[in-house]
Structure 1
């Protein structure tokens, strides 16, 4: 019985060994297959080639960025860029005038116009020829690159093989790299071996590198194709500086030698003043007569200019910056600014007047403008300024401090206007205006400084003049039977204010809140009425000049000549020239 038992046991052992060997080999086989599949899926490079820019006729790249929409066009070897691309990526001030089908480009010294489908363009109204015109293709407006390369610091490189148009910008620094090693080199759609490839590269080939991601370089070939390359296959090279020279030079606007601008406005309503009666104005170097004004919606200007006044001013050593206003008529302003034709009409008249009257500059004074015309006002000033600069005229513009009032303040794009004009004059008045419901200073010192600081956030101090008032307001507060106060006012010159005070034997006192002298009067005959006045006089002007010096502004401007006392001129010039 024991033998049988042992025999059976041995047979079971042999049977177990025979089952183990096939299972083991099956396991090994499955493991090999799995590893092969894993290698195939995760380790084997993708050898599928795809189109770099499907469905784009002429792909455009700029600083490594690929633009998905149709933003370039090539015809007979001539490269075009879309209007929208240039406006969004090169020059936000590029403009299109639908009425005349004209592209408008403005620089610091040129206004260029290109009419669609025409080979004649204009620079500051002078014609010149272009080889290819502005055109429209598939509903997209295109600009030829050749004139753009002379205006903007850009170049366009076109590769006929890949169809890629590549933008290069002057001033950019580009990291170069060289392909190294043996084997094959793939430019892929993504930073992984499994991404399909766009193109192949050769050892020693130079690429431009824009970024690094997950151990891969985002790079561009010489033919313009762009994608990812394993950084282990690249040796970094030099940094290439891109330089494209553009015509033109930086303008240095006129300024008084070694000093600040001291301007005053000459208010001309119907006829010019008798110059023989104008008092001496020490320190004054610019006078701005209010001569030109928009007279209708068609862009016609009214003129009150007088050549004899200019001759008198020049004999006195004053520059003449004639003021041009919109007549403060918002509807006329909308119509006149709306299209290129009326804007050019206004420009042509100003140029003619400037030559006729031997002017030294134009002072632009557009007020009471609809917010919707904000961009059109900028466009007009951009178009006008190069024409005036070409005639060596100084261009200044009047602005207000910042506020939430649309037609008084918000319509000024101060930052963009400051890029163009030579000087801006911030009219720091009226804090309390003629019909103000509350009596107060025309321009208290804290209000002036705070407002000026707000403007300096957008306008360089070297371009800013502080506008100051030579007048005050006499306020009358009258209580009715219900104790309600009615407020009225009238403007007084410095001399009128002084006479009013003397007639009543009053003694002005210093008002800490406004930083000015203040006077108050109650008439015993009319006890319900209180008169109030915050004064402009020698002391207040000296404080305003100190602000000019504190913030190193370009100078000051005063509204208006004839409202001041004679002592004011000496007070201004003495304070301006006084050393700390």
Structure 2
């Protein structure tokens, strides 16, 4: 009995696990999905002999360019030149206006889950796949890079875990090819060619070979083109809040030097159907053209609080209405480009927003319009703006290199040099080519007022460790107004190397004022960042707030 117990303890189990249980398949239609030697948690389905993947797997693991509008039941894919449209449950699709058909249903709904035929996904995605039965599973390969492969040294088994008591998943024949995922002293993690991922004894793993796999290709190629300006971009945003302001364009231009693009704030989202309000003027455009200045009309989502950006961007019919109206206005007013300034979006609308940029880019390109998109400096909370994907479709990505500190924040610089440098380097690191980046810089300064609280020390709140004994407010002023304010209050500025700008502080009527000054000196450091990184140019918010002398500094770097 003792011998029998000892033998049993050290004998490998012969238990074979049902692969349906291993893959957690609960119905005949369900299909396991193995991508690049990883078993995904999400399941596909097999219907009428065709393999389908759920939309989230398609979007998140294979090709983010597929866009599903659950509100209007339409699947979209944007190529560099066309919009592909598939209505749910159909075997036909449209490439722009050209109708095409397949011999299978392209999309299927199961409750709230959309499934997309893998053959259709592969049509626009460089990937390879093999389908296996008993149980249903699809093995997908997309990854490039170095991979370790081997051939089994003898007949053996792949077990679910590293240990002789772990159930057997698959019998492996001598010489069978395996991908080696991890090599351990006793057990190694491997993947078979038919999608079983588990462990074999390391001593049965043959010599490994490093294979450098190029990107899997099935012949689908994409080539993005962009409208690029020959000269560095020197752009100014012109805030226009009424039609009368358009009549001042002559004086606005005459106050600048070397500016070759102006972006008037003419258009804004005016309702939740995608309709656009306009303050545009053809006379304004004609005057700019006569003076060698291009006009990139700005479209914003901030002016009408009753207009829901989320509603418009997540409904294809409304989003495309917005796109069509922008293009119609650009043609009507003979614009050279469009500047998109959609801010304060929620993360949940990120896919709809980037689809808006894709769709707008196609129509801009077809009409010879430059498309530029304004962006915050990269942060974790703004990653859904997907600047790398913007750069594939838009001509220019504009970094709004300001509002480091803003109305309602703690006191600090509008745009310290470190903030600007990081904004540029982080944007490039996200995948935006430097030659497509326009660096936005401020012509304004915030004057911060720190006013002591009357009740300081008299309340329970005041006793807390994080209590602030003053209220912080600010106002934005142009360059000349800031200098007048400092002179009036006898404040003397001194240079701050850390901030890359002059700093001044003074007290008036018990209120402490702190000022991180934007002037020609601070602007020159930012322009140097632009030059050193080989960026496409600069833009300035906003025209009219600058001291005229700063243009002499600007033209040293952009002309």
Tell me the TM-score normalized by structure 2: 0.75
Task: Write out per-residue CA displacement over residues 175-216 of structure 1, whole angstroms, 9 at most, x where no aligned residue.
Answer: 3322345xx544444444554434434333333333334534
Matches within 5 A, 1:146-185: 146-160=119-133, 162-181=135-154, 184-185=155-156
Deviation at 1:563, TM superposition (A): 4.1
Alignment equivalent of 2:323, drawn from 303, 328, 347: 347
CA contact (8 A) 1:162 1:223 kept: no
- Secondary structure of the residue that 2:399 maps to in structure 1? strand
Deviation at 1:135, TM superposition (A): 0.5
CA contact (8 A) 1:153 1:170 kept: no
Please tell me whether Structure 1 or Structure 2 has the larger radius of gyration of its CA atoms: 1
Matches within 5 A, 1:330-369: 330-333=305-308, 334-367=310-343, 369=344
Matches within 5 A, 1:450-461: 450-453=418-421, 455-456=423-424, 458-460=426-428
- Name the CA distance, whole Å, in 1 between partners of 2:376 and 2:195: 49
Deviation at 1:576, TM superposition (A): 5.1
CA contact (8 A) 1:506 1:519 kept: no
Are 1:78 and 2:50 an aligned pair? yes
- Name the CA distance, whole Å, in 2 between partners of 1:489 and 1:175: 59
State which drifts further: 272-281 or 341-350: 272-281
- Name the CA distance, whole Å, in 1 between partners of 2:284 and 2:101: 42
CA contact (8 A) 2:82 2:95 kept: yes
Match of residue 273 from structure 1: 247
- Name the CA distance, whole Å, in 2 between partners of 1:539 and 1:139: 57
Alignment equivalent of 1:558, drawn from 528, 533, 540: 540
CA contact (8 A) 2:234 2:558 kept: no
Are 1:203 and 2:208 an aligned pair? no
In the alignment of these two chains, the number of paired residues is: 517
Matches within 5 A, 1:384-463: 384-389=357-362, 391-392=364-365, 393-400=369-376, 412-413=382-383, 416-421=386-391, 422-429=396-403, 431=405, 433=407, 447-453=415-421, 455-456=423-424, 458-460=426-428, 462=434
Counterparts in 2 of 1:432 and 1:375: CA distance versus 1, 3 Å: closer
- Secondary structure of the residue that 1:332 maps to in structure 2? coil
Deviation at 1:573, TM superposition (A): 0.9
Match of residue 573 from structure 1: 555
Structure 1 residues without counterparts, runs of 5 or longer: 1-32, 403-408
Match of residue 348 from structure 2: 375
Alignment equivalent of 1:542, drawn from 524, 529, 538: 524
Match of residue 29 from structure 1: none
- Name the CA distance, whole Å, in 2 between partners of 1:157 and 1:186: 22
Are 1:51 and 2:18 an aligned pair? yes
- Name the CA distance, whole Å, in 1 between partners of 2:35 and 2:409: 56
CA contact (8 A) 2:354 2:386 kept: no
Deviation at 1:294, TM superposition (A): 1.0
Counterparts in 2 of 1:238 and 1:427: CA distance versus 1, 3 Å: closer
CA contact (8 A) 2:347 2:384 kept: no
Task: Write out per-residue CA displacement over residues 312-349 of structure 1, whole angstroms, 9 at most, x where no aligned residue.
Answer: 44454434321001133444134433433322221222
Match of residue 4 from structure 1: none
Counterparts in 2 of 1:472 and 1:153: CA distance versus 1, 3 Å: same
CA contact (8 A) 1:113 1:121 kept: yes
- Name the CA distance, whole Å, in 2 between partners of 1:39 and 1:501: 91
Alignment equivalent of 2:87, drawn from 102, 115, 118: 115
- Name the CA distance, whole Å, in 2 between partners of 1:280 and 1:175: 64
Are 1:224 and 2:190 an aligned pair? no
- Name the CA distance, whole Å, in 2 between partners of 1:312 and 1:109: 33
Deviation at 1:376, TM superposition (A): 1.1
Match of residue 304 from structure 1: 279
CA contact (8 A) 2:158 2:168 kept: yes
Deviation at 1:538, TM superposition (A): 4.2
Task: Write out per-residue CA displacement over residues 217-255 of structure 1, whole angstroms, 9 at most, x where no aligned residue.
Answer: 433444334444444444336444253236444646555
Counterparts in 2 of 1:512 and 1:497: CA distance versus 1, 3 Å: closer
- Secondary structure of the residue that 1:273 maps to in structure 2? helix
Match of residue 23 from structure 1: none
- Name the CA distance, whole Å, in 2 between partners of 1:203 and 1:437: 67
Alignment equivalent of 1:215, drawn from 167, 170, 186: 186
- Secondary structure of the residue that 1:99 maps to in structure 2? coil
- Secondary structure of the residue that 1:60 maps to in structure 2? strand
- Name the CA distance, whole Å, in 2 between partners of 1:532 and 1:46: 75
- Secondary structure of the residue that 1:391 maps to in structure 2? helix
Matches within 5 A, 1:9-158: 35=3, 38-39=6-7, 41-43=9-11, 46-54=13-21, 56=25, 57=28, 58-67=31-40, 71-91=43-63, 95-105=67-77, 112-123=84-95, 128-130=100-102, 131-137=104-110, 140-158=113-131
- Name the CA distance, whole Å, in 2 between partners of 1:48 and 1:518: 78
Counterparts in 2 of 1:304 and 1:451: CA distance versus 1, 3 Å: same
- Name the CA distance, whole Å, in 2 between partners of 1:283 and 1:335: 40
Counterparts in 2 of 1:448 and 1:105: CA distance versus 1, 3 Å: farther
Task: Write out per-residue CA displacement over residues 18-68 of structure 1, whole angstroms, 9 at most, x where no aligned residue.
Answer: xxxxxxxxxxxxxxx75566445524x544444223362422222322245
- Name the CA distance, whole Å, in 2 between partners of 1:565 and 1:314: 25
CA contact (8 A) 2:184 2:202 kept: no
- Secondary structure of the residue that 2:206 maps to in structure 1? strand
Deviation at 1:397, TM superposition (A): 3.0
Counterparts in 2 of 1:285 and 1:375: CA distance versus 1, 3 Å: farther
What's the RMSD between the two structures over aligned residues? 4.6
CA contact (8 A) 1:399 1:426 kept: yes
Deviation at 1:76, TM superposition (A): 2.9
- Name the CA distance, whole Å, in 2 between partners of 1:505 and 1:190: 77
Deviation at 1:385, TM superposition (A): 3.0
- Name the CA distance, whole Å, in 2 between partners of 1:261 and 1:354: 20
- Secondary structure of the residue that 2:149 maps to in structure 1? strand
